Structures are given as C-alpha cells and as structure tokens.
Amino acid sequence: MKKITNITLNKSTIPSTASFVKYKVFGEPEAVFNFYIKDSSSPNKFYNFKTATFTNTFTSENTLTNVVLGSGAFQGTVKLPASSSGNEYRFFAIAKSHFDSQVNDKTLLLRTDLTQEAGVTVKFTTSTDQGDSNFEGVGVFASANQATGSANTSSNTSIELSSVTLVDTGTGDNIALGYKFDFNVDTNVFNELNADLQPVDSDFFTKQEKTTSGTGSSITDMVLTNVNNLVVGMSLVSIASSSVTTSGSLGVLTFPTITAIDTNTNTVTLSSAHSWANSKTVVFRAYGSELIRQSTDGVFEFNNFKVVPKDAGGTITGAPGTVVVAGDISNSTAVTVDNVAGVSKGSKLVGPGIATVTSDTINANLVAAIPTTGTGSATLTMTGNQTLEDNTVLEVFGSTTFAQVEGRLVIKTFPSLDTDVFFDIDRALILATTS
C-alpha cells in the first residue's frame, strides 16, 4: 500500500482579511487521493476549486479527485475569503484504497487545520473618577480614534490623537471653572503642566467587567462567573452596591489588586478584604502596557502623549487664559473680574500692576478663593493686597477651562478581542476648586 503521509500549509493562522494559502500533500510516488477543504460554518461550506469560493453544496468542483502523487509533493494555492468573525478551515486528503493507497493501517483520512483570526476594533478615549459632567470630552469614542485589524496579528497601526478635548461646560448656576494643575510659578511664558503630570505608560488602562458568583464578607477570595482576561496585578476599581477600599488621593489613587487567580474555581485573590453580594458587577483595570498585553494579547505603545491647556476659546495651545479686572482695586485682596471661568484656587494671576510678593515674601498673586455659583462678574480673594486699574487684563496660570490630549497610540499587535484603551486624566488634571 502506498502511503499519504502529510499535509502542510505555509500558514497556521491567517488574518480576518482575504488571504492566499499554499498547501502541499506528501506521500509515496503513485499514491492516489481525493482532496477537499471545508470551513466551520453551519452548515459547512466547501471550497470550489473552479470558482475559488466556498459553497453550501458539494459537487465535483468541490473536490480534486484521484490525484496521483509524483516523485515530490502535490501542491496548490487556495483563496480564503475575509471573515470579520473569524473561521476555521480543514484540509482533507482521503487515500483511495482501490488504488492501493492509505494513510496508515487504520485510516484513509488525513487532515490539517487552519485558523482565521476574527476582526477586532481598538478604541481610545479618556477616563475620570471625578464628576463626568465636568469633563465634556471624557468617554467619547471618536471615530478618528479607532482602528480595526485582525486579532493577534502584527500591525504597527497608529492612531493619531489630536481631537481629544476636555471641556468644563458648567451646569445650572455653577461656573465652568475647569481644571487645575501644578505648574512652575517661576515660568510666565507658557501655561504648561509640570513634566511629572504628563502622561506615562502607567496612566493608560483597559478594563474587564465581571460578575460575582456568591457573596463575600470581609474576605480576599472573590469567586466570579469567569476569570477570562484577568491577570495578576490588575486593579479592582468598583463593586456594584458596595465600596472599594483605596489609598492615596485622586491622581495618585491606589486600588486593591489581584494577587492570585485560580482558573479551576474562577477565584481571584485580592490584596485587601472586601464585601459583596451575589451577581454584582465588578470592574478590574489593567494599568500599563505590560498588564494590558497580558489581559488582551494586544501590544501597545503610547508615544509623545501630552496634556495641553488651551485658552478660553479652546484654540490656542499652550496660551494662558485671561480675566479682566472689573472696577478699580485699591490695596485689597478682593479683586472683581468680568468672569472666573477657568480659574481655580491656587491659580496665579500675572499682568500689569499686579503685586507678586507681600512683605513676608508670600506669593501675593495667587487666588485663595472664588465664588461657587453665579455667572458674569465675580470677586476673587487673593493671597495679598492688590491695586489694579479697571479693565486690566490678567493672565491665568495653573488652571484652564479647556485642555487637549495629544499623542500617538501605536498598535504593534492587535489584541485577541475588541479593546477600549483609556487614558486616566486624573493623573494630570483635577477639577478646579473654589476654596
């Protein structure tokens, strides 16, 4: 009996796009076999070698019949169609026993499989644990900040982020105060965030939502319905109808983390004890590119990211906002201005005639308090007495109504599932405060 020994493919996986695949069938000279290909759809479809398409019917065109091996391998190329949901393909060689051919003593069938990865989408947006209503641009998945590719495939796809703008619009009688940030008080040229507030790798995260299976009372072992895509080191950020114990302050907030995972029992061990009810949603975050890779299989780079304050018109990058003095001020800490939008406690005012230092060397031009409600003119409380003329224009440093996130998200390898990537803006910007 002449043997059919092997089927090889030049690829073990293909992307979700249409692809050409080369195959070879090996065996002894003059071995005879039939060859066909089917996919995993229901009902199965078979490859038509004449039309290079898959069909639900099986005719003579869906098989290569009585192929005779020569001295080498029998080879060919097939075109596999695009599939956004992925697919599996099986390549079959059936030895013809009446032509004195076999695979081995027990079977006439030889098979090899190929996987087509699903199409996945990566989206980028911003995230905050502060009041969402004060961050107009947070959580918006703009179409320009998305990319689609094949799961688990190398890509080097870039998403240029230039349209992620954060805006505090204010609600009701509340003033649109905007955001405050640390800045260099000795620099009056640009309204810039300190370098240590600019985005770093650990400011980016992906998240997984899971459901509790059973209850827990002040324990560290949490049983879930599944632990898919959870990895050691991920942060527990919320438990529905319960609370999560955190440490630190907003911007440098530390969450409890996963310290161990039992895939047999769907149990995660937490770094601190918590309580929860049954069937409650819990949210875990993977901070930083390494944990993101472990969780999603996606390889990401965060290049040239920065947060840039903008002026009150939202158009001039790096320019400070301004306020206009409303009425003459004579040796007083009370300074009335036409509008306090974009001003926070701790903001620094710079301009003609403003006193910068008091007799005891304390900064005199820092805002100590502002009104909490109202529109139009408002009276600021300064840290030192000021004498200013009506209509004096003062620049504002350390706070802004508008901010823009810029940078490049590079997808080196697409993840194995649809993935939302978030930038945690709390690391850079805090809602402006009044007192």
Task: Provide the mean pLDDT of the chain.
Answer: 87
Q: Left (φ > 0), alpha (ψ -120 to 50) or beta: where does 155 sit?
A: alpha
Question: What tokens were used for 212?
Answer: 């509790």
Indicate the residue type of 310: K
- The vertex-72 CA angle with 66 and 74, nearest 5°, equals 40
Q: What angle (nearest 5°) sits at the alpha carbon of residue 111, between those of residues 106 and 115?
A: 155
pLDDT digits (tens, 9 = 90+) for 357-366: 765 556 889 9
Give the side-chain half-sphere CA count within 13 A for 173: 5
Please tell me the pTM assigned to this model: 0.79
Tell me the torsion sign for CA atoms 349, 353, 355, 356: positive
What are the structural domains of the chain? 2-117 (2.60.40.1930)
**119-127/399-400 β-pairing:** unpaired
Q: How confident is the model at residue 164 (pLDDT cuts 50, 70, 90)?
A: confident
Q: Which two tokens stand for residue 373?
A: 């409600």
Torsion 182-184-190-192 (CA) sign: negative
Strand pairing report for 101-102 and 2-9:
parallel
Give the separation between CA 131 and CA 122, rounded to whole angstroms: 25
pLDDT digits over 287-296, tens only? Answer: 999 999 999 9
pLDDT for 84-135, tens place per residue? 889 999 999 999 999 999 998 889 999 999 999 999 999 999 888 876 666 7
Distance, C-alpha 355 to centroid of its chain: 46
Tell me the CA distances in angstroms from 72 to 27, 32, 69, 171, one per residue in order.
8, 13, 7, 77
- Give Cα separations from 4 to 56, 93, 94, 95 (angstroms): 28, 8, 8, 7
Q: Which residues contact 163 (CB under 8 A, 6 or more apart)?
A: 142, 144, 145
Is residue 190 predicted with pLDDT exceeding 60? no
Residue with tokens 């599944």: 226
How much of the chain is in helix, strand and coil states, percent to nearest 5?
5, 50, 45
Alpha-carbon span 302 to 408, nearest angstrom: 6
Percent of the chain with pLDDT over 90: 60
- pLDDT of residue 188 exceeding 50, the answer is no
pLDDT beyond 70 at 433: yes
